[in-house]
Amino acid sequence: MEWSNEVVLEFLDLYENEPVIWCAKHLDHKNRNAINDAWKRIEEKISIECSKELKKKKDSLMATFRRLLNKVKATSRTGTGSEQVFKPTWFAYVKMASFLQGICKPSDTQNTEVSTNKTFNYLNIIIV
């Protein structure tokens, strides 16, 4: 199947209307039957015979969205001017951000660096 921008946006509309698939807080999110039924509804409306192709396309779209979302977050940290914040031009970003931005948050990195003073003081206590 040819995935034109219009077909992708139609798919995203259908996907957005099935929060059981993408919203971890949905009551039936862990119910495989409910998720499969949602994929079948999308399949019927978009006239694609194979839900594997839909899921593959969803994975591809999500990977691009997460990459761009990480870039936006990285450039919008404190001290960055508004003109320096990355603004994605990808055709599906705005649509996906409208319903996934709160769900698909890029993870913050954890600072695993240990303060040398704390380590030094701790070692002095043990030695003494």
Mean pLDDT per block of 10 residues along the chain (128 residues) reads: 88 95 93 95 85 91 95 80 85 94 57 42 36
**pLDDT for the residue 104:** 56
Q: What does pTM read for this prediction?
A: 0.71
Contact 42, 54 (CB under 8 A): yes
Cα–Cα dist 30/12, whole Å: 21
* pLDDT at position 84: 82
pLDDT score of 12: 96
Query: What's the CA gap between 124 and 127, in Å, rounded?
Result: 5
Structure tokens at 18: 């099935």
